[in-house]
A and B are shown apart, each in its own frame.
Chain A
Amino acid sequence: MLGLTPAALLVWRGFADRLGANPIEEVLHHLGRSALIFLLITLSVTPIRRVTGWNLIIQARRPLGLFAFFYLTLHLLWYAVVDQTYDFEFILEDVLERRYIMVGFTAWLLLVPLAVTSTKGWIRRLGKRWRKLHRLAYVATSLGVLHFYWQVKADTYWPIVAASVLALLMLLRVRIGDGGGLLRSRKPARGRRPAEVADPTSSKDL
């Protein structure tokens, strides 16, 4: 429920008239920033778990990821409905012609299947493929960072910070991950129980 904090903060600021002179823009940016932060936190769960050995943290990953998707969807809706007052023509033009909007929209699109398949049912159904699918989280976050970088006028400080964090997380996964990392580590073959293969989110595999 802490995940609702950014949204709650926005609502409070709205009522307290602390959104500044351009509240539509402020809300849009706040939602985007929150989404990106949640994405980065979600991607840091497994590295933290590996480094600290704190296995329980894996349970936080799904709610964190879903909150990221929640804020991202709000960000998209705010843009389409409030900022552009669902002027479909303008929105279409924006998506097709402004590259930062195209990558942002693509990032959201990529996360839709991830949100949908976040349930235990889907994990079971997809088996090994679930993990492969959810690697798209890295792609989507990268596109999100690019969206951010291309959107700012000149002050690229925060986009570069976000890119650095993402790069670090990806590097960590490459180095520490085995089945869950970007590179498969060379491990001696051993028999696997069916349950391990069927549930990619079980502690053994991650």
Chain B
Amino acid sequence: MLIRRPDDIPSSEITSEGVYVNRRQFIGMSAGVALGGAAGGGGLGNFGDALRHDAGPRSDTGPQKDWSTVRSDLDEELTPYEDVTSYNNFYEFGTGKSDPAKNAHTLRTRPWTIEVDGLCANPGVYGLEDFIKPGTIEDRVYRMRCVEAWSMVIPWRGFALKDVIDRADPLGSARFVQFTTLLDPGQMPYQRYGILDWPYLEALRLDEARHPLAILATGVYGRDLPNQNGAPLRLVVPWKYGFKGIKSIVSMRFLEDMPLNTWKQSASHEYGFYANVNPEVNHPRWTQARERRLGEFRRRPTLMFNGYGEQVASLYAGMDLRANY
């Protein structure tokens, strides 16, 4: 986890996001609650920045993060901003990788409403700013592994999902939390086609959702999320395949029974509920043992739980991960 303070940047070190050669990044979770607290002040300062609807061009020289000073125990390079924001799976805007960046401009991210309901003591309907209030905004660098066997390393900006779950106060009977994407073919034109069952739905087991690694992201590379990345709010669960990272969230509901997530509903023998990154369990049609890290020439071996096994494996102790793919 990377906690950054925005004024930490010597002017001599200001670099654009596109430059990523020889960067070292800090990937993985740190137990740094103290760090979180220290960043809280800076985080709140960024809060306003994060909420600014920033559709600026890449030459925008807003507060630059000095990503190169981020510590990393894994020495993996950040995927350039240009790639993160132009290579997307967001079928509501087209099924080609470059379609969302071209088409997502029709999405209106303000005003944005999020409904919290289901088995919880404190349901409610929130505007975006109120919804994210309990969270401490931080920058975190995570691996993102798509089920299609490509991957990126992305500096997300967001807050722990746990914070809004705690506010909602799920009942004892709640075992799952479910999210849905906006349903509006007027704004998301490919919702007119039945490529998937709309609205997109995803869910986590409650203990997974409360895990410190799970975040709701409002930004990337220190800026507001571009529409094609799931603005204004999306889920990031780095130890699972990317399709669990539901975008443009409008609803959070607590349930007793496991809901049917969209990709599992689309092809249940290919995509499951848990979707933990697992090189030992292949997709029926392609292997999951290796992945193409964008920007690299050779494919690299896929890591169990996308390299976050130390932090999350205990969630699945005793589970047959081949049956629960």
Contact = CB atoms under 8 A, between A and B. Distances in A.
B298 interface: yes
Contacts of A83: 292, 299
B98 interface: yes
Interface stretch (A70-78, A90-98, A104-112, A162-170): A90-98
Interface in B54-95: 79, 82-84, 86-87, 91, 95
The 7 closest A-B pairs by CB, nearest first: A21-B83, A21-B87, A155-B95, A85-B298, A21-B294, A22-B294, A98-B286
A14 interface: no
Interface string B150-184: 10000000000000000000000000000000000
Sorting the interface of chain B by its residue count into under 10, 10 to 19, 20 to 34 or 35 or more gives 20 to 34
Chain A's interface: helix, strand, loop or mixed, by majority? helix
Most buried by B among A24, A84, A99, A151: A24
A154 B95 contact: yes
Contacts of B192: none
Contact of B86 (A20, A99, A155): A20
A178 interface: no
Given A21-B83, A154-B95, A98 B287 contact: yes
A22 B287 contact: no
A90 B292 CA distance: 14
B266 A21 contact: no
B280 interface: no
Interface in B162-211: 195-196
12 contacts: A20-B97, A21-B97, A21-B295, A25-B150, A83-B292, A85-B297, A85-B298, A85-B299, A90-B290, A93-B287, A150-B285, A154-B95
A130 interface: no
Contacts of B98: 20
A24 B83 CA distance: 14
Contacts of B287: 93-94, 97-98
A155 B195 contact: yes
Interface string A111-149: 000000000000000000000000000000000000000
Given A20-B87, A85-B299, A154 B97 contact: no
A22 B285 contact: no
Contact of A100 (B266, B285, B290): B285
A94 B235 CA distance: 33
Interface string A21-43: 11011000000000000000000
A21 B86 contact: yes
